[in-house]
Chains A and B, each alone.
Chain A
Amino acid sequence: EAGVTQSPTHLIKTRGQQATLRCSPISGHTSVYWYQQALGLGLQFLLWYDEGEERNRGNFPPRFSGRQFPNYSSELNVNALELEDSALYLCASSHDRGVFDEQYFGPGTRLTVT
C-alpha cells in the first residue's frame, strides 16, 4: 500500500510570492491534515480537510489556505510568503470514523523563503 506522498520535496521562493504544496493521502483515507514544523517549534496544526470540506484550521493567518479534491488529494497554498514561513510542511491522512484515528504522515515539503 502506498503511503502519503507530498510534492515537491523542496521549494524555494522569495518573499511575497505564492507557494503551492500538494499531498496525496493513503488510498481509502478521507481526511487530510496539514502541519507546519518550524525549527524548534514542533508541529503546528494548520488545516484539516475531510470529504472535500475544511473541518477546522489552526491559528494561522488567512494567507494559508487549501482545498481537498474529489479524489481526496489536497493542496496547501501560502500567499504573500514571509521569511518566517520557512519550515517543513507535513501532510497526514487518516480514516475519519468520528474518533481520532492514527494519522499517517508524508515525508514533507521543505519550504525556504528568501
Chain B
Amino acid sequence: RKEVEQDPGPFNVPEGATVAFNCTYSNSASQSFFWYRQDCRKEPKLLMSVYSSGNEDGRFTAQLNRASQYISLLIRDSKLSDSATYLCVVIPYNFNKFYFGSGTKLNVKP
C-alpha cells in the first residue's frame, strides 16, 4: 500500500463551484501535513499547511481527520486560475521522510 494516496482526477468543475479532494495516508504516526499546488510544467508551490484544528485561507479550507487518516482540501467559488494539480504531503513523526501524493488534477471550466 502506498504511503499517501490521492484520486488522480481530473475533477472538471464549472467556475464558482465548490470542490473537495481527499488524501489518505497509511502511517498513523504521521505528524505534519501540507497541500502543494503544481501548475502544468511548473514546480510545486506550498498552498497551505494542515493543522489538527483545520485551517482556512480565503476560499481554501484544509482539514485533518486522524481517526480515518485523511486530509482534505476544500475550494469554494472556484476560479479558472485554480486549475492545477494539488499534491498532498505527509511527514511522519520522526521527520525523516517526505511523502508526496501523486496529485489530483483540477480543471475549472468557464
Taking Cβ atoms with an 8 Å cutoff, the residues of A that contact B are 33, 35, 40-45, 48, 55-56, 58, 90, 98-100, 102-108
Contacts and interface: CB of A to CB of B under 8 A. Distances in A.
B99 interface: yes
B32 A99 contact: yes
B43 A105 contact: yes
A41 B102 contact: yes
B44 interface: yes
A45 B95 contact: no
A56 B95 CA distance: 10
Query: How many residues of B sit at the interface, in one of the four size bands?
Result: 10 to 19
* B interface majority secondary structure: loop
Given A42-B87, A43-B100, A90 B43 contact: yes
B38 to A, nearest CB: 9
Contacts, number: 44
Interface in B82-105: 87, 91, 95-103
**Residue in A43, A44, A56, A58 whose Cβ sees the most chain B Cβ within 10 Å:** A43
Contacts of B96: 55-56
Interface of B: 32, 34, 42-46, 87, 91, 95-103
A99 B95 contact: yes
A56 B96 CA distance: 6
B45 A105 contact: yes
Contacts of B98: 33, 45, 48, 100, 103
Contacts of B97: 45, 56, 58
Contacts of A41: 102
Given A35-B100, A103-B46, 5 more contacts: A33-B98, A42-B103, A43-B100, A55-B96, A100-B95
B48 to A, nearest CB: 10
Nearest to B88: A42
A43 B95 contact: no
